């Protein structure tokens, strides 16, 4: 009997400790998100927008190939863009007074141009003129968005020596994107919009997130 009671007491104690541990973890997670810098939160939203842009270029390429998956991909890109820009996370950043920050303005400019490009991509088809050049322009966006995301991710300072590899490779990708633009001679409105977007991506990440903790 004594032994049974003792076992029961031990099990209860273990259960309580487990609960305490869960509570502690939840508390730490809340603390962590409270301490997370606004720059880190903005960069993560920005990475989502870069990805929406990449999805658009894939959708645009599929439209040029005549694939019926093209419009569906453009729909998904638009939904992600809307989710990132109109979600509670963005609203919170604005509420906290970050609406006029340079990084926020850049993000809104990029999102606006992405939305405009996605709309224009709806008109692409197998019959579109200069399809090869348009695909090269799409690749320029793809490469620049990848470079921009790698740099922003490495600026979070989460992976030590690997951050350096990421930032260097990101810069190489931005250079590659610039080179691709020079290869395409188109001067129509669509190409100009692509060039504007690539230039925005090249100019984006400037401030290491960890130095601006608030």
Provide the binding-site residues for Cu ion, judged by CB under 5 A: 90, 104
Using an 8 Å Cβ cutoff, are 167 and 208 in contact? no
d(CA 1, CA 206): 69
Using an 8 Å Cβ cutoff, are 151 and 161 in contact? no
Using an 8 Å Cβ cutoff, are 139 and 180 in contact? yes
| Smallest distance from Cu ion to CB 112, Å | 11
| Smallest distance from Cu ion to CB 16, Å | 44
Q: Give the residue with the Cβ less far from Cu ion, 108 or 196.
A: 108
| Smallest distance from Cu ion to CB 106, Å | 10
d(CA 193, CA 197): 6
Place of tokens 């030590």: 160
Q: Give the residue with the Cβ less far from Cu ion, 104 or 153.
A: 104
| Smallest distance from Cu ion to CB 98, Å | 7
Where in 6-110 does DSSP place strands (E)?
A: none
Q: Give the residue with the Cβ less far from Cu ion, 107 or 174.
A: 107
| Smallest distance from Cu ion to CB 151, Å | 20
Q: Give the residue with the Cβ less far from Cu ion, 90 or 143.
A: 90
d(CA 46, CA 149): 8
CA 179 to chain centre: 23
Q: Which two tokens stand for residue 174?
A: 């931005």
d(CA 10, CA 110): 59
Q: Give the residue with the Cβ less far from Cu ion, 46 or 63.
A: 46
* 189 Cβ contact list (under 8 Å, min separation 6): none
Sign of CA dihedral 96, 98, 99, 103: negative
Q: Give the residue with the Cβ less far from Cu ion, 152 or 167.
A: 152
| Smallest distance from Cu ion to CB 121, Å | 24
């Amino acid at each position: 009997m004594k032994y049974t009671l003792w076992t029961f007491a031990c099990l209860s104690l273990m259960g309580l400790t487990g609960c305490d541990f869960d509570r502690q973890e939840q508390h730490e997670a809340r603390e962590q998100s409270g301490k997370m810098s606004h720059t880190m939160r903005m960069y993560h939203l920005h990475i989502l927008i870069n990805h929406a842009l990449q999805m658009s270029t894939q959708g645009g390429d599929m439209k040029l190939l005549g694939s019926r998956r093209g419009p569906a991909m453009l729909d998904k890109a638009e939904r992600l863009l809307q989710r990132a820009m109109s979600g509670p996370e963005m609203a919170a950043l604005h509420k906290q007074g970050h609406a006029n920050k340079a990084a926020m303005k850049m993000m809104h400019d990029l999102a606006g141009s992405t939305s405009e490009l996605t709309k224009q991509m709806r008109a692409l088809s197998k019959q579109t003129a200069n399809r090869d050049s348009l695909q090269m322009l799409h690749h320029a966006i793809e490469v620049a968005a990848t470079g921009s995301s790698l740099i922003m991710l490495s600026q979070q300072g989460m992976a030590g020596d690997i951050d350096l590899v990421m930032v260097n490779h990101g810069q190489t990708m931005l250079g590659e994107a610039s080179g691709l633009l020079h290869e395409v001679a188109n001067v129509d409105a669509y190409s100009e919009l692509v060039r504007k977007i690539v230039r925005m991506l090249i100019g984006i990440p400037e401030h290491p997130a960890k130095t601006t903790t608030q």
